[in-house]
Chains A and B, each alone.
Chain A
Amino acid sequence: MDMIQLIDLTKIYRGLKAVDRVNLDIEKGLCFGFLGPNGAGKTTTIRMMAGVLKPTGGRIILNGHDLAKVPSEAKQCVGFIPDRPFLYEKLTGLEFLQFVAVLYGLGPSPSLEGEIRELLELFELSAWREELIESYSHGMKQRLVMCSALIHRPQILLVDEPMVGLDPKGARLVKDIFRDQTSGGKTIFMSTHSLQVAEEVCDEVAIIQEGRIIARGTTGELRRQAGMDGNLEDLFLRLTQEGD
């Protein structure tokens, strides 16, 4: 079953096509990497999928729910981790997680408190749970956003540049968590600049350039398509240069 379907997804900003009729279908349990140079349309696509931006055209179907027709049901299945962790600076980490949990329909309960405690421990934020978010470092905020995205156990994780601001320990932790999630049947759609991360974590990747998908497949398939043996970086550079 396809957990994510993008059908002719298009976004036009003041006459500029940021995303141009993108079509993708992603199976359950996959970690899907979304690669592309700066300004290619990665963040715009993810923000449309998260329901933060309204598409100019096309459809987004998440776990069988059309985002335009039944946004609440579609969003209920999704956890979104943006590239920049803008949060409510005057809330504590704990208050923020409780706030997000209720937004996703989880009532205050002992099981929720236990869930929050576990997530904070997992992301090594327990000692900071009672502190205002404004005193967190960038990496801590990023980890807090990840906690909030996982709190309602979403079927789909949308992740925009997950490793920005994380130290090597944090980056390793996140990669392990992503692997755990996909092995548990969750689907991850992840944009990244880091080809190393894509190679390590993703089952399949797509490359977007100037708003269009120019290649898609496993890294092995892409190598075969491009007729080369090098690493993903060589492949990426070759494909995006051809696109130019």
Chain B
Amino acid sequence: MEDLLILLRPRLLGLKNSLTRHEGPGGKKILVMVGLGLAFSGGMFLLLCRVLAYFQSVQLIGDILARQLLSMVLLTFFSMLIFSNLITALSNLYLSKDLELCHCTPVSVEEIFISRAAFTFVDSSWMLIIFALPIFLAYGYVYEPGVWFYFSALHMNLGMAIIASSAGILVTMILVHLFPAQRTKDIILLLSVVMVVALYLLFRFLRPERLVNPEAFFGVAEYLSALKAPESALLPTHWIAEALWSFLDPLGDTRTVDTGFAAILVWTTALSGMVINVWVAHFIYFDGFSKSREAKKRLRSGRRFLDLVTGALSRPFRKDLAVILSKDIRVFFRDNTQWSQLLLLGALVVVYLYNFSVLPLDKSPIRIDFLQNELAFLNMGLAGFVLSALCARFVFTAVSAEGEAYWIIRSSPMGLRRYLWGKYIFSLIPVVILAELLIVATNCLLEVSLFMMVLSSVTIFVMSTGIVALGIGFGAIHPKFRHENIGQVATGAGGFLYMVAASIFVGLVIILEAGPVYVLFMYQVKGREIGPWEWLFILLSFAGAAVICAIAVLKPMKMGVKALGDYDG
């Protein structure tokens, strides 16, 4: 037990030091993060209060909806916790750099395992538990159930998090026992991406918007059955939902599990999970850890295919830029954590286009040609925001992706200006292709006029040039060459600033184009005459948008070159 406390001590000391010393995040940064967290939680609380209050006002099915929502929330949290634990357990139990030190000491394997399992539980659960708070507070606020509801929500959620953690850790131990840790990491990451894509597509193709239109169903029974979430009586979320609902709706007759019995079920399962894990760890944990220290895989496949791809794509560029492009493509496709995100990108495009294909335009009271073109115009803004978010992950990180090997670029004779503009061109081409695909395809689905098709295609092209330059520029101003996973780079302060800048840029372009587009569209549809002052307004607005785009391209790139030149590591 004493050894266990010693093993937990470095983490606690590290936390204390990062909070009390200057090396950690500054006071302002912590305040901003706490402020953002509170704002998010507050927003979620208010939104859910409104939704639940609305449900309460709906007779017959209101309570069913609130009960189903609770079940869905718990089920979502539970599955997210399991996945989060799978990934975190792999790092904490097998891949952490300090593990070798721990295993050299005369501490028992079980104690090392328990300390790492505790880290895994805390790392993967704290955020979700905090996000869960406003949801349960909203239920409490709307249904006024009494203090036992809060107590039960707290301890049962804790129990659920322990069960999820135990399950995640157990699966990880078994996987590492069967495969090397590095391979397991790839498998888990790939599985999680595929699962997210599948869930995303499945959810969207179920068309949940039909639920707010009961006329789409033949009868009440069919509608009610469509509302029901899939749930098994063997799942801990079912016990918790039943127990909590009994506090919220004490007179209801839908209870199948007694509250006390549900609590016993949750906690005995949680404790059993912990005991089983320690028992399994006794047999297989060290064996898996030892395997994880083995060298990484030597053999590669698909080299010829990559040669062909990089050869074709880098041909138009001069040889120094071509070699960087070729290197970036090879690194991207050999890193499973990177290329697998293209699956998410593909799903996003499919759902984006699908959303436009199922828009019920014919049911709108507004004239259809007007609505089609208005939607196409607003779609430029939406596409701009979607592209900004994608660029946060793939373009903002382009400089940081050099990692600690950045010294090779910096010490080479290639100038930073050329390097950064090279990165810009490589990123711009796929972004423009994607942007035009989204815009042209949605315009075709909306059957817009030729004028709107040309205008939106040109606008999204020009907007893409600015969004990409902002991404490359901000990425160079806030580089993070020391990172475990390139995906984390975009979630820092630099990524946040980039998103703010890109959103403002997209918003400004849309605002500047809105007025002249309206005038030109009315001329086209209704034949309204355009006076000389209106022509001047149109010219100035488009010129303003062009100037903003030029600034968005040149300024961040210039600042990026300077910042990289001043970079001290």
Contacts and interface: CB of A to CB of B under 8 A. Distances in A.
Contacts of A75: 411-413
Given A53-B568, A90-B334, A76 B408 contact: no
A177 B99 CA distance: 38
Contact of A87 (B323, B405, B409, B413): B405
B330 A72 contact: no
A107 B330 contact: no
Contact of B408 (A103, A130, A134): A103
Contact of A50 (B324, B407, B414): B407
Contacts of A90: 330-331, 334-335
Of listed B335, B408, B565, residue having the most chain A CB within 10 A? B408
Given A72-B415, A75-B412, A54 B296 contact: no
Given A13-B568, A91-B327, A135 B295 contact: yes
A41 interface: no
A72 B415 CA distance: 7
A119 to B, nearest CB: 16
A98 interface: yes
A132 B331 contact: no
B405 A103 contact: no
A105 B322 CA distance: 12
Nearest to A134: B296
Contacts of A51: 410-411
A52 interface: yes
A6 to B, nearest CB: 17
Contacts of A199: none
A121 interface: no
A161 interface: no
A76 B413 contact: yes
B419 to A, nearest CB: 10
Interface in A126-140: 130-132, 134-135
B319 A107 contact: yes
B300 A132 contact: yes
Interface in A55-112: 71-73, 75-76, 78, 80, 82, 84, 86-88, 90-92, 95, 98-100, 102-105, 107-108
Interface string A120-161: 000000000011101100000000000010000000000000
Contacts of B407: 47, 50, 52, 80, 82, 86
Q: Is the interface of B mostly helix, strand, loop or mixed?
A: helix
Interface string B297-326: 110100100000000000000011011101
Contacts of B412: 75, 100, 103-104
Interface in B345-404: 403-404
Contact of A99 (B323, B567, B568): B323
Nearest to A88: B405
A88 B327 contact: yes
A15 B567 CA distance: 16
Contacts of B409: 103
Interface string B57-84: 0000000000000000000000000000
B569 interface: yes
Interface string B255-295: 00000000000000000000000000000000000000001
Given A50-B407, A52-B569, A103-B408, A91 B331 contact: yes
B397 to A, nearest CB: 15
B411 A50 contact: yes
B413 A99 contact: no
B215 interface: no
Contacts of A53: 568-569
Given A51-B410, A53-B568, A107-B319, A135 B404 contact: no
Contacts of A78: 411
A92 B307 CA distance: 12
A84 B334 CA distance: 23
A225 to B, nearest CB: 34
Nearest to A106: B319
Nearest to A158: B411
A71 B415 contact: yes
A95 B328 CA distance: 12
B566 interface: yes
A80 B327 CA distance: 20
Given A53-B569, A91-B330, 17 more contacts: A76-B413, A86-B403, A88-B327, A88-B331, A88-B405, A88-B408, A90-B334, A91-B327, A98-B323, A99-B327, A103-B323, A104-B413, A107-B319, A130-B303, A131-B298, A132-B296, A132-B298
Q: Which 10 residue pairs of A and B lie closest in terms of their CB atoms, listed nearest first? A: A86-B404, A102-B323, A90-B334, A72-B413, A103-B412, A75-B413, A50-B411, A90-B331, A80-B411, A76-B413
Interface of B: 295-298, 300, 303, 319-320, 322-324, 326-327, 330-331, 334-335, 403-405, 407-415, 565-569
